[in-house]
With several copies, the nearest count.
Chain A
Amino acid sequence: MYNQKVIDAFSNPKNVGEIENPDGIGTVGNATCGDIMQITLRIENDIITDAKFKTFGCAAAVATSSTATEMVKGMSIDQALKLTNAKVVEALGELPAQKMHCSVLAEEAIKAAIEDYLSKKNK
């Protein structure tokens, strides 16, 4: 069902964990639907310098979290806000149709984390 890239990203995920005192934190999804994604970001001068995730979810959720956190590191927050789930999936090759919603969660979690950063910054 999953391709090898997804299986690799799932079995050796990068950036697992939680940044202490993150500059931005985003949590989306809920356990009832079977997927929760939490992304924590370290942001310096609007550049994402570190990203970590925690996921309660399927293999696709883990793989997209791992890939998405890899991709945003080094991006400006403007660039990161433009990161779509399509790009994350592209990086992984493909996902089964019924798993596409998991890639949306990664996009949403990053957006939520950046918004959290922006709202704190503007306070």
Chain B
Amino acid sequence: MDKREVYLDNSATTKLDEDVLEAMMPYFTEYYGNSLSQYGFSRKCAQAVDDARYSVAKAIDCKPVEVYFTSCGSEANSWAVRGGALSGRKRGSHVILSKIEHPSIMNSGKWLTQNGFDVTYLDVDKYGMVHEDELRKAIREDTVLISIMLANNEIGTIQNIPALAAIAHANGIVFHTDCVQAMGLIDVNVKKLGVDMLTISAHKFYGPKGVGVLYVRSGLIIDRLINGGGQERGMRGGTTNTPLIVGMGVAIEKAVTETDTNAAKITLMRDRMIERIKNEIPDVILNGHPRQRLPSNVNFAFNYIEGESILMRLDLEGIAVSSGSACSSGSLEPSHVLLATGLPVERAHGSIRFSIGKHNTMEDIDYTVDKLKVIIAQLREMSPLYKPQDRVKEV
């Protein structure tokens, strides 16, 4: 078996599409003007930004004036949670998040706590699902904002956002959802989801790094996060980043067109990978939901061993994966998402996320599982926790 380069970390970031890059190119050195300037030289930039805004609006089914370009998903999330809460302060100071949100949301919640807000973190079940009853119970008179993600970045669990958003609205509460992982893999439609705010980030669907979108329903006014001049209708400062915004526009158009084909192809790879790992490697636990799951996500706890060792051994075979959340890699904390699903700490430490992208092939999957089997066996041999008799017991 020849060594391959297998990138299975598409939930961390994806390869920029060549078409997208090509569309961006003229805006670097040729049409480099400030899109807000009044002279003819900038007209092409302004038009390009308008077009991209229109593409995003069409993709998520909203009006172009409801699209705000940001520098990333984290900015959009911080803006939605902090800005949404601050602008609601007159009505109350309680915010509800789930326990499995991305660090940009979790830490915005922490920021709110330090700034006079009260934050409730909703429990999830062992599959990572937020239950409607939990949300209903958490709502208070003074709740001003709820933020629950559509698809989780670590375990891929997909929430029933329409139902959760409806509960929020029945109580007059603004609802935000983080769709950074969902975009391009499942339907992301603000009308169908019924949300007031929504976050996406281009680099998760083969667009450039450094450009995200916050959708804000027209009529809803939130506090600003990045102050500046008149950009983004006065809501987000910074000289308009025309090339990256153009990249977002082309990437989202392509993502929407390709969602069904990509999802179908990726789901096949996911299902084969899950099957093979379950059948061929003993003592593993599939993290996340068996069905309500992103097409791209495979996440397993490999008992008795630790994630970084697995990651590094796979790396030596040319396979790129992530242990816990890629965003917090390098940290020693076990994943807050896995812990929220009730996984014991040592199993959380031994979990690996494989995230499949449109460039992967079935050969990548088979190569990975073949290598993985050997690596897991070797590492278990090295583990003081692994006693073959335990295995026999558990099987």
Contact = CB atoms under 8 A, between A and B. Distances in A.
- Check whether chain A touches chain B (CB < 8 angstroms): yes
A34 B309 contact: no
A32 interface: yes
Counting chain B residues whose Cβ lies within 8 A of the other chain, the interface size class is: 20 to 34
A81 interface: no
Contacts of B330: 1, 96, 98
Contacts of A61: 306, 309
Contact of B332 (A36, A55, A98): A98
Interface string B331-358: 1101000000000011001000000000
A38 interface: yes
B382 A55 contact: yes
Given A31-B345, A34-B349, A56-B306, A11 B316 contact: yes
Contact of A37 (B316, B334, B384): B384
Interface residues of A, number: 28
A92 B389 CA distance: 35
A56 B38 contact: no
Nearest to A99: B332
Contacts of A11: 312-313, 316
A96 B38 CA distance: 12
A1 B304 CA distance: 24
A2 B385 CA distance: 25
A64 to B, nearest CB: 13
A27 B316 CA distance: 28
Contact of A32 (B43, B313, B345, B381): B345
Interface of B: 38, 43, 46, 304-306, 308-309, 312-313, 316, 330-332, 334, 345-346, 349, 381-385
Give 9 closest A-B pairs by Cβ, nearest first.
Answer: A31-B346, A58-B308, A38-B384, A54-B384, A32-B345, A34-B349, A59-B312, A56-B383, A56-B385
13 contacts: A1-B46, A11-B316, A31-B349, A32-B345, A34-B332, A34-B345, A36-B385, A38-B384, A53-B382, A56-B384, A59-B308, A62-B382, A98-B330
